Amino acid sequence: MSDAVDTATPKRRGSSVPLLKRLKSLITVLLTVLLTLVGLLFVTFIIGRVMPVDPVLAIVGERASQEIYDAAYISLGLDKPLLVQFGIFLKQIAQGDFGISNLTARPVSEDIVRVFPATLELATVGTIFGVLFGVPMGVMAAVNEGKWQDQVVRFVGLFGYSMPIFWIGLVGLIIFYGLLDWVGGPGRLDVYYEDVIPVVTGLILIDSLIEGDLDIFWNAFSHIILPASILGYYSLAYISRMTRSFMLEQLSQEYITTARVKGLSERTVIWRHALGNVMIPLITVIALSYANLLEGSVLTEIIFAWPGLGSYLTTALLSADMNAVIGGTVVVGLIFVGLNLLSDFLYKVVDPRAR
């Protein structure tokens, strides 16, 4: 896991690792991940416990008698030692039980299942945007190292890193929705389209296609395009920068010279030979930026009234809905760890040297 965070350079190991050794390293990885997960849950648990909200009062109300208060206190397990409480907490989470949300009066796990697809859709379209523009920009910058193209790409990237996402979202809404009316406004759909099609995947773009309703598809598209491209701009900045440095590394290799000497066209050399090798470390980068987008969507969702995990989490935060906060934080953390692990794994599948 830490490898994915630390570096993205290819690891070179012997290709014929004995089975036992491989099994051992697999177990080590699994243990590390498990430990990280438990630690993550522990931090969240502690945050939940020191929150300045009395969970008992939230249930029994302020006018409850002392006996009712005590009974609720005990039924919540708050009289037990902290470590025992943590054990109960772990057990509940392992069963997918995050408790009941005070705000929606429904199980937090159900709430999360309901809101998560919106965030997933936003982050996915954003990442697609980032890859579609970021990779060619990075390649262009590397091929023209030091020239104006390189400077432009660098500047575009730095711009992306420097924009407050909630601000650019607001400005984007005024210009493209308010003034020009090119895109749909806040929300996932226009009001009269909402709840028209049945929920299959929860991703409206896909659900509308399954239903064959192109009107809804285009409406959803016009709503998602602005927030997704603003989110995608961030991953574009990151992806283009990493692509540039990976490409520079590849372009200085001898096989590139060989390919050129062989008389291959510059296009083949760059887009097939060099980029082909860049794709491997790039997977890690894309996975990481995907995870970052899931997080970055918190502020974007608020600006665009996007009913996803970010909106859910912040609403819960502001109304001190403890179970929902913990549930949301845990889910985001789990996805983060999961994506890191996945990128590590994909890396090994794609790159034979890393096996």
Q: Which parts of this chain interact with other proteins (CB under 8 A)?
A: 1-2, 5-6, 32, 35-36, 39-40, 43-44, 47-48, 50-52, 154-155, 158-159, 161-168, 170-171, 173-174, 178, 291-292, 294-296, 298-299, 302, 313-314, 317-318, 320, 325, 328-329, 332-333, 336-337, 340
124 or 314: CB nearest other proteins: 314
We find the least distance from the C-beta atom of residue 340 to other proteins, in angstroms, to be: 7
DSSP string, 184-250: --SSSS-GGGTT-SPPSSS-HHHHHHHHT-HHHHHHHHHHHHHHHHHHHHHHHHHHHHHHHHHHHHH
220 or 332: CB nearest other proteins: 332
Using CA atoms, how far apart are residues 297 and 4, in angstroms rounded to an integer? 22
Using CA atoms, how far apart are residues 205 and 130, in angstroms rounded to an integer? 18
We find the least distance from the C-beta atom of residue 37 to other proteins, in angstroms, to be: 8
Using CA atoms, how far apart are residues 62 and 344, in angstroms rounded to an integer? 50
Using CA atoms, how far apart are residues 72 and 79, in angstroms rounded to an integer? 10
We find the least distance from the C-beta atom of residue 18 to other proteins, in angstroms, to be: 25
213 or 295: CB nearest other proteins: 295
We find the least distance from the C-beta atom of residue 105 to other proteins, in angstroms, to be: 20
We find the least distance from the C-beta atom of residue 314 to other proteins, in angstroms, to be: 6
- Locate 126 and state its tokens: 């954003």
Task: Please return the burial class of 184, using the count of CB atoms within 10 Å of its CB with bins 0-12, 13-18 and 19+.
Answer: buried
4 or 228: CB nearest other proteins: 4
Using CA atoms, how far apart are residues 82 and 78, in angstroms rounded to an integer? 8
We find the least distance from the C-beta atom of residue 125 to other proteins, in angstroms, to be: 19
Using CA atoms, how far apart are residues 310 and 322, in angstroms rounded to an integer? 15
169 or 281: CB nearest other proteins: 169
57 or 214: CB nearest other proteins: 57
